[in-house]
Structure 1
């Protein structure tokens, strides 16, 4: 029988420990995720067994043809919808086990969502929109918000309302609102899709820079291979699965 010290130094134990540490570093893990939607012609399966891991602090571009299920995947990861089967695990917690109030708390405190539509609150000023989620998550930090406002170039607009801003300015407010709460995971669905190339590049620069400052993982849907190349890695959704 091998001594305990030899067992602990064995290749098998070393490999096991490595695998444990690697898994522990994963902020988001999707395993065998399936999702269908009902139509007049019957159910259509959009996701057909998706496996995906995103590490803490990592930026990942999610690409694929229109209708391939990219937005559906983000909605599942963001707790906005439930998978038919498979697991969506965020920071060690399986979202399938969450009650509705727990899912709502998850969306408030653990994940940040950035969409093309901005989803700003019309009745709130820029400053109030930016601080909204941070206050809900009990993570409001005036100094951090001031730093965000400066980096996003919004100092002159904090008292304005969304309707008084351009599309690019509104998108920067939406990004500021997400980052103000310092979520462990940021999900962005074509965040530069409504912007011209120059403004889109600037917005992505800010998102990547500030996400690194916060230490957040970023999963970003984009059709642009040029933008995708700027993230840590790219995964392709094809035929309802992640392409090999």
Structure 2
């Protein structure tokens, strides 16, 4: 279970602190999926980064199976990033000096969870089995995004955190990539928290949450 309670986060500016999250509450069971929606600047990516342990909140709590995330040491947060979460970003963030096979295995190896059979299955399902010796620069955008998804799921993390994972793809490719992502997440037993601006894509997840000015609001038109 992922529980977020009264989460606040501000960033310093020359004019003073800029509040980004102002008391966010969320609950999400492991194995379920939630689309995080809202206008630019509403705090969606900030919330994702806090859950990933990439930053710390000013106040409030993030609980993973009743264990507070925000009180962990830096070493414990690094372990959480390696083992507990898989991250997928719009920019792919692949390692240019590694081929596809090594990119796919990268996080699983860091986490000590390298499973060659699972990795081979991911590569086959993602249409990458014939591309394992290629490098990221030799791939299309859609192929690079598939590598990023495979890398995030290779270690079977508890949570997949995706920030506009299909934002740079056309509509048909977005639908295909999201379908694969959701199927493979279910097989890995992971939960999904996905930032998206697309109501069409958000509708395919089990739950939706709308952020406005750093607070959870009823979804417009909902």
Which TM class, normalised by the smaller chain length?
over 0.9
Rg larger in structure: 1
Q: 2: CA distance between counterparts of 1:90 and 1:221?
A: 19
Q: Which residue of 2 aligns with 1:170?
A: 144
* CA-to-aligned-CA distance 1:188-234 (integer Å, 9 cap, x gap): 00000000111111110000000011110000000000000011011
Moved over 4 A (4+): none
* CA-to-aligned-CA distance 1:116-159 (integer Å, 9 cap, x gap): 11111111110000001111111111010000000000112100
Matched pairs, number: 218
Q: 1: CA distance between counterparts of 2:169 and 2:16?
A: 36
Tell me whether 1:220 sits opposite 2:220 in the alignment.
no
Give the secondary structure class of the aligned counterpart of 2:130. Answer: helix
* CA-to-aligned-CA distance 1:39-90 (integer Å, 9 cap, x gap): 1221110000000111111011010011000000000000000000000112
Q: 1: CA distance between counterparts of 2:112 and 2:52?
A: 19
Tell me whether 1:137 sits opposite 2:121 in the alignment.
no
Give the secondary structure class of the aligned counterpart of 2:95. Answer: coil
**RMSD value over aligned CA atoms?**
0.8
Q: Which has the higher helix share?
A: 1
Give the secondary structure class of the aligned counterpart of 1:96. Answer: coil
Contact 2:100 2:131 in 1 (8 A): yes
In structure 2, stretches of 5+ residues that fail to align are none
Give the secondary structure class of the aligned counterpart of 2:70. Answer: helix
Note the C-alpha offset of 1:239.
Answer: 2.2
Matching residue within 224, 230, 233 for 2:204: 230
What are the within-5 Å matches in structure 2 for residues 1-16 of structure 1? none
In structure 1, stretches of 5+ residues that fail to align are 1-25
What are the within-5 Å matches in structure 2 for residues 11-50 of structure 1? 26=1, 28-50=2-24
Q: 2: CA distance between counterparts of 1:91 and 1:153?
A: 34
TM-score of the superposed pair, with normalisation by structure 2: 0.96
Q: Which residue of 1 aligns with 2:174?
A: 200
